[in-house]
Chain A
Amino acid sequence: MSGISDILVLIKQVPDTSSKAGLNPDGTIDRAKAKRMLNPFDRYALQAALHVKKMYGGRVTALTMGPPPAVEILLEAIAHGADQGYLLSDRRLAASDTLATAYALHKCVLYLGKMDLIFTGLQTTDGDTAQVGPQIAERLDLPQVTYCEDFSIEEGKLHARRIVEGGHQDVICNLPALVTVANAYHQLEYKTLRGARLIQELNRDEALKNQYIHTITLDDVSADPELCGLKGSPTIVAHTDKVGQIGGQCVMHQGKSIEALVKEITGGTQIKEFVRQ
């Protein structure tokens, strides 16, 4: 008996920067035009949650906070095998910083009830802070394993390996716990045909979709709006500067045979000092 009954995965929809769509010529992002995707680290978190379900049982709930289109990533999670999805969507959440986001999400966790394991990605690709996971854990008074790259559950405890500088660390953690996932150790199984069909059905049948996906507001989870959004955020972006271009000093090597180009580097720069003898 693993004793696992409920697994939560916290995911976020982010702009897809690998696509040129929505990328302005100066490198800034037009979020309205940009393609959207599931945050890559959250994909690993989803893999981890589904791995637990497969190996040890339990029910997987995916939770996200965002505007209505964020429902797309909940459908994606369900297509991969999550059992249900919750979207916290509320205008009063606009401009939340990490602390306000963590406050709102921890209220959702309390609303959803007891969770044995909470997974989330190490960080998002649009915020890069890695703060929301640990801030939720603090609010819920849970132990946490950050930078997790592998784990198993033995005798009701989480045995996890986390990345540390120049190596890794093995820890044993009581449940419930919050885990931030850094690596794609447990490969996400491809969307099954069943999963793909289910999504088609859900997109056709609103009533059926509502059985799988629940949209909730701050009022549903009894969150104090004063602690959310801009009001609940202790930080603000006060000013932005364009980053100045440096240099223009680059010596370009082009338009010759590859051999000649490479020779200009291997022979003409100080890299030869470091060649292994």
Chain B
Amino acid sequence: MSEESPEIVKPINADQPVGEVLVFAEQCLGELQPVGLELLGAGRILADKLKRPLTAIVLGHNLGDIPKTLIAHGADKVYIADHPDLEQYRTLPYRRVICKWIEQMAVEPHTMLLGSTTTGRDLAPRIAAHFTTGLTADTTELDIGDYDHKGGSDPSKIGLYAHCLYAIRPSFGESLKARILGPWKNPQMATTRPGVMVPLKPDWERTGEVITIPVDIDSSDYRLAVKETFREVNQTVNLAQADVIVAGGYGLGNPEGFELIRKLADCFDNSAVGASRKVVDAGWIPYNHQIGQTGKTVRPKVYIACGISGAIQHRVGMQNSDLIIAINKDPDAPIFKFAHHGIVGDLYQVLPEMIRQLQSSQSSSPKEVSSVV
């Protein structure tokens, strides 16, 4: 049958029941993590398109107002698992409680979303492997739509599928966005980086159902124990909250270049040091500084990119910064395509000069600083 055929094709999965959209809402030390609310914002759109409820699942201990907050941000139903042994995230007990809850549902969720955090990226693949279902990592867009599967090695799968989850992510090192689908099995799963999706404005009048779910942990789930969790107060890695981020890339030439990056960051209040993936891969700076698709997503007031070429991988992590200043030797570097200000020059000349000028402006009143030369 040709594409122009006027016949209306009935989707293969037209008669299958469609389940809810389930969001894993992560808490840490009793505090709801913002990514859960962001996922509810994205999930609400998917649930409305599917005409199915949006639900949230949260595990922890003494969860307080968390269910209310989730409902205010778009959840129709909240599943809570409250148990002292769930207070801190651990892979095996969390995986057990969630999988068991999904298994007892009359219809499994159509979609399940988790944050691409150290927790979500630890947990999501375990759940996906448990249900042998598809999982797309680090999505930047989500949607619902039809899919006409034409090929593949498995003829039994060919045909039109209705209301599939579109999980969209930039593909590796390439200027391509890939739309990834897995309509053959539910839940269709995806993780999304913090800071990518937009939460709904809370409506505190909104009502919803709160359901306490059973906590049945197996003794084998205690094979790992959390001894201690440290949160650094150190501003240099607090990328999410920083007003100014100074980030270094391979153009620095060597790991010592980060001394200069730190010095420049120190010229600003509430600043942090970031890095491209290449320098993290090279071992110049720890992974928790990495910005980009496989690192953190940031949107500071000012982003100063030093010796970073600006590949799509990096761009998706910082392109929403209010002001992007790029310094690079190569006038053709992709970063100049989306930065607001670009300096073409040698970092080892530009950065010391910038530090000198900023330090000298510190001693003078900001009003005395002249504008454009």
The residues of A with any CB-CB pair to B shorter than 8 Å are 17-18, 26-29, 40-41, 97-99, 102, 122-123, 125-135, 137-139, 141, 143-147, 149, 159, 162-174, 177, 182-184, 229-231, 233-243, 245-254, 258-277
**Which positions 267-296 of chain B face chain A at CB distance < 8 Å?**
267-271, 277-278, 281-283, 286-288, 293-294
CB distance from B367 to the nearest CB of A (A): 10
Cβ of B325 under 8 Å from chain A:
yes
Question: In the complex, are the beta carbons of B182 and A235 less than 8 A apart?
Answer: yes
Alpha-carbon gap, A135 to B131, bound state (A): 11
Question: In the complex, are the beta carbons of B323 and A270 less than 8 A apart?
Answer: yes
List 3 tightest A-B contacts by C-beta distance, closest first: A234-B134, A235-B134, A138-B129
CB distance from A132 to the nearest CB of B (A): 8
Alpha-carbon gap, A275 to B329, bound state (A): 25
Alpha-carbon gap, A137 to B225, bound state (A): 17
Q: Which residues of B contact A145 (CB under 8 A)?
A: 224
Q: Which residues of A contact B370 (CB under 8 A)?
A: 267
Cβ of B4 under 8 Å from chain A:
no
Checking A99, A159, A241, A242 against B129 with a beta-carbon cut-off of 8 angstroms, the contacting residue is: A99
**Contact A275 to B231, CB < 8 A, known contacts A182-B287, A236-B181, A247-B338:** no
Q: Could you give 16 example pairs across A and B, Cβ below 8 Å?
A: A18-B250, A125-B173, A135-B125, A146-B91, A166-B231, A171-B227, A173-B225, A183-B283, A235-B181, A240-B178, A254-B345, A258-B353, A261-B350, A264-B373, A271-B304, A277-B269
Secondary structure of the B side of the interface? mixed
Cβ of B179 under 8 Å from chain A:
yes
Cβ of B9 under 8 Å from chain A:
no
Checking B117, B250, B271, B336 against A165 with a beta-carbon cut-off of 8 angstroms, the contacting residue is: B117
In the complex formed, the residue of B with least CB distance to A252 is B342
CB distance from B27 to the nearest CB of A (A): 12
Q: Which residues of A contact B147 (CB under 8 A)?
A: 238
Per-residue contact bits, chain B 354-369, to A (CB 8 Å; 1 contact, 0 not): 1001100110001001
**Contact A252 to B336, CB < 8 A, known contacts A27-B173, A258-B345, A271-B244:** yes
CB distance from A275 to the nearest CB of B (A): 5
Cβ of B10 under 8 Å from chain A:
no
Q: Which residues of A contact B204 (CB under 8 A)?
A: none
**Contact A139 to B129, CB < 8 A, known contacts A27-B312, A162-B118, A266-B354:** yes
Question: In the complex, are the beta carbons of A134 and B283 less than 8 A apart?
Answer: no
Question: In the complex, are the beta carbons of A128 and B122 less than 8 A apart?
Answer: no
Question: In the complex, are the beta carbons of B173 and A246 less than 8 A apart?
Answer: no
In the complex formed, the residue of B with least CB distance to A27 is B175
Question: In the complex, are the beta carbons of A135 and B128 less than 8 A apart?
Answer: yes
Q: Which residues of A contact B337 (CB under 8 A)?
A: 245-248, 250
Alpha-carbon gap, A250 to B305, bound state (A): 13
Q: Which residues of B contact A233 (CB under 8 A)?
A: 134
**Contact A270 to B302, CB < 8 A, known contacts A147-B118, A174-B223:** yes
Question: In the complex, are the beta carbons of B180 and A128 less than 8 A apart?
Answer: no
Q: Which residues of B contact A268 (CB under 8 A)?
A: 371-373
Question: In the complex, are the beta carbons of B126 and A137 less than 8 A apart?
Answer: yes
Alpha-carbon gap, A240 to B178, bound state (A): 4
CB distance from A264 to the nearest CB of B (A): 6
Interface stretch, picked from B71-79, B135-143, B208-216, is B135-143
Cβ of B2 under 8 Å from chain A:
no
Q: Which residues of A contact B52 (CB under 8 A)?
A: none
**Which positions 166-184 of chain B face chain A at CB distance < 8 Å?**
166-167, 170-182, 184
Checking B129, B177, B323, B362 against A271 with a beta-carbon cut-off of 8 angstroms, the contacting residue is: B323
Checking A129, A167, A230, A253 against B154 with a beta-carbon cut-off of 8 angstroms, the contacting residue is: A230
**Which positions 38-79 of chain B face chain A at CB distance < 8 Å?**
none
Question: In the complex, are the beta carbons of B358 and A275 less than 8 A apart?
Answer: yes
Question: In the complex, are the beta carbons of A243 and B175 less than 8 A apart?
Answer: yes
Question: In the complex, are the beta carbons of B135 and A98 less than 8 A apart?
Answer: yes
Q: Which residues of B contact A40 (CB under 8 A)?
A: 281-282
Question: In the complex, are the beta carbons of B369 and A267 less than 8 A apart?
Answer: yes
Question: In the complex, are the beta carbons of B125 and A274 less than 8 A apart?
Answer: no
Question: In the complex, are the beta carbons of B349 and A258 less than 8 A apart?
Answer: yes
Cβ of B153 under 8 Å from chain A:
yes
Question: In the complex, are the beta carbons of A275 and B180 less than 8 A apart?
Answer: no
Question: In the complex, are the beta carbons of A143 and B175 less than 8 A apart?
Answer: no
Question: In the complex, are the beta carbons of A130 and B343 less than 8 A apart?
Answer: no
Question: In the complex, are the beta carbons of A171 and B225 less than 8 A apart?
Answer: yes
Alpha-carbon gap, A170 to B179, bound state (A): 37
